[in-house]
Structure formats: C-alpha cells, structure tokens
Amino acid sequence: MATIDVVCIGNAIVDILTRTDDDFVTQNGIIKGAMNLIDAERAELLYERMPPAIEMSGGSAGNTAAGVASFGGRAAFIGKVAADHLGRVFAHDIRAQGVSFDSHPLENDAPTARSMIMVTPDSERSMNTYLGACVELGPEDIETSKITEAKLVYFEGYLWDPPRAKEAIRLAAKLAHDHKREVAMTLSDPFCVDRYRDEFLELMRTGTVDIVFANEDEIKSLYQTDDLESALEQGISDCKLLIVTRSEKGAVVLSKSERVSVPAIEIEELTDTTGAGDLFAAGFLYGYTNGRTLKDSAHLGALAAGIVIQQIGPRPQVSLKIAAQTAGLI
C-alpha cells in the first residue's frame, strides 16, 4: 500500500532571483535560457555583480515535490543540503509545503547549493548554479522506505552533473521496480541532454526509466533532430510514457497506444518562466498517481505551469488544489 504519491529526487537548491536586462546576461557570458553550472569562485563574482535579489527555495525536483503537495498530493523529496542557513531555509520551505524531507544535511563541507537566476524582460530565466553540497548526494541517501512506499519515483536529469547521484538514482530505480513502482525523469535542459545523451537514452532503453518529461528543445536535443514529430516517435519507442511541454502551445502526451494534446491555459501576464516545466510535471504526476486519465493529468500540469509563470519564483504561492477546484479539474 503506497503512502506517498511521488518521491522526487534532485539537487536541493535555493534560488537567488533577480531581474536584469539582456546585456547583463550577454556581458557575463551566461547562456540565456539555460542552466549554467558555475564554481564557487564564479558564484562569488556573479553575486557581486548582480542586482538586488530575492531568495526562495527552488531546485527542479524540489519544485515538483512542492507542486504535488500544493495539489494535495503526498510528496517526498530526497536531496542534499548543508547544515547552514540556506539549508535550513530549503528544509523549512519544503516541509512547510507539506513535503516529507528527511535527507541528512552535509556537515562541515560545501555549502547549500544556490542558483542565481536572471529574469530578462522577455520573462525568460537564465540560471547559474553552484552545486555545493549537492555533489555529495549518493546511494547512501536513498531512503528505502520512501522509495518502496511511493507510487512513483521522479528524478531530474540534472542529477547527472554531480558525480555520485547517478548511482543513487540507479539504486532507487531498482528498488522501485522491484516493488512494481514506476520511475519517471525529466530531461531538465537541452544542454544537460547534450552532456549526457547516451546515458539518458540508455536509461530509457533499458527500462530504468518508464516515463520521460521533456520540453521541445530537450526532446529534439536527445534525438539530435529539428523535427519534433520525429523526436516524439523515437521518444515513445524508447519509453512507456512521454510528456513533451511546448510552452504557449500546450503539451503532448504519448503512450504506446494513445496520443493526447492539451492547450496551455490563458494567462494574464507572463512574469517569470522559472519552474514552468517543474510545475507541469507536478500537476501531471499528481493526476497520474491519483488515477486520472492522461488528458486530465496533462490539464492539471498545464494549470500548474500557467500559474507559476505568472509569479516570481518557481514554487506556487497559491494553493494549486484550490486553483484546480476552481477550474473544475478536480
């Protein structure tokens, strides 16, 4: 009997968000719209240069866990913070959202990870992530009971960046499958796909991963094609369920036997795209693990994504449960 809907595994990150113009992004050599990995020294330099900022808990899979909980789902998170101020902030925020989080913080080593996020006038976010304590995530951090008690394990492709997290994921996936649970991943970022294409394809083709979330750029990058249809076809031949988000064009969900599309929700004002993909995954997974159809699950994903891009920051500041009830989706 599952007591958790979704257990999310990812880099535990606090976001440092600010607005800049495009020149700031260009002049500082930041790849726009991407997750740029940086070291401690560059983190200091960029922080010194960046405008006043807002700190809020983030991290891709952490945002998804928070989203599932905001829908009223039962979510858990596994990720590595340090025993420092930002680590306490991360732990407070995710627990206060109702997510179960018991990972041991790292003592006397690298600090909690932070991502400096520049939001440009077009509302696109460019991330600059110093992984800090996240590089210590390993198989010893996988809480067996959380994996076996969850209907589904979800992890971020970004976990291929730190050295030992992939071992943690392989262990979690094996545990999950041994207990007849499903495993889902997000491809995270087109550049991340570029770094780990062969490994991601291997995860899919060996059945280590059952369900794949991607946006258009990521799925095209995975199959190194400019043709979305071709990427979708190849994608669903390599996994059991493929969910591809397409920004204002909505999303498409493919199973071996079915293909459904949903539109994006109408929004009043695009504010900040940070967390859009994470929250789509949250809505979809909340629906999927609670017996909804693929189409209804995708509508929940579109709702959550549409809400988070109308606010600053990657975690919903309103109750997604109430929003979904108001929209007649649950």
Which of 122, 104, 102, 127 lies closest to 50 in space, CA to CA?
A: 127
Structure tokens at 31: 């790849």
Min separation Cβ 55 and a copy of itself, Å: 4
Give CA–CA dist 7/154, Å, rounded. 6
Contact between 105 and a copy of itself per CB under 8 A: no
Give CA–CA dist 268/213, Å, rounded. 26
Going through the chain in order, the beta strands assigned E by DSSP cover 4-9, 13-19, 35-37, 54-57, 75-78, 100-101, 113-119, 125-130, 150-156, 182-186, 211-215, 241-245, 251-255, 259-262
Contact between 50 and a copy of itself per CB under 8 A: yes
Which residue among 9, 135, 312, 323 contacts a copy of itself (CB under 8 A)?
Answer: 312
Contact between 45 and a copy of itself per CB under 8 A: no
Min separation Cβ 71 and a copy of itself, Å: 15
| Cβ distance to a copy of itself smaller for residue 53 or 327 | 53
Sequence-distant (≥ 6) Cβ neighbours of residue 122 within 8 angstroms: none
Query: Are 93 and 56 within 8 A, CB to CB?
Result: yes
| Cβ distance to a copy of itself smaller for residue 47 or 191 | 47
Contact between 279 and a copy of itself per CB under 8 A: no
Contact between 110 and a copy of itself per CB under 8 A: no
With CB under 8 A as the rule, give the number of residues binding a copy of itself. Answer: 25
Binding segment (CB under 8 A) for a copy of itself, from list 50-58, 133-141, 148-156, 229-237: 50-58
| Cβ distance to a copy of itself smaller for residue 115 or 208 | 115
Contact between 27 and a copy of itself per CB under 8 A: no
Contact between 56 and a copy of itself per CB under 8 A: yes
Give CA–CA dist 65/276, Å, rounded. 13
Min separation Cβ 54 and a copy of itself, Å: 5
The sign of the dihedral angle between the CA atoms of 294, 201, 248, 322 is: positive
Give, in order, the Cα–Cα distances in Å from 315 to each of 15, 24, 210, 272.
11, 25, 26, 11
Which residue among 2, 31, 34, 53 contacts a copy of itself (CB under 8 A)?
Answer: 53
CB atoms closer than 10 angstroms to residue 101? 22
Which of 67, 74, 61, 242 lies closest to 150 in space, CA to CA?
A: 74
| Cβ distance to a copy of itself smaller for residue 22 or 233 | 22
Contact between 31 and a copy of itself per CB under 8 A: no
Binding segment (CB under 8 A) for a copy of itself, from list 42-50, 161-169, 170-178, 278-286: 42-50
Min separation Cβ 329 and a copy of itself, Å: 22
Instruction: Please give the residue ranges that form the binding site for a copy of itself (CB under 8 A).
Output: 19, 47-48, 50-57, 66, 84-86, 89, 92-94, 96-97, 312-313, 315, 317
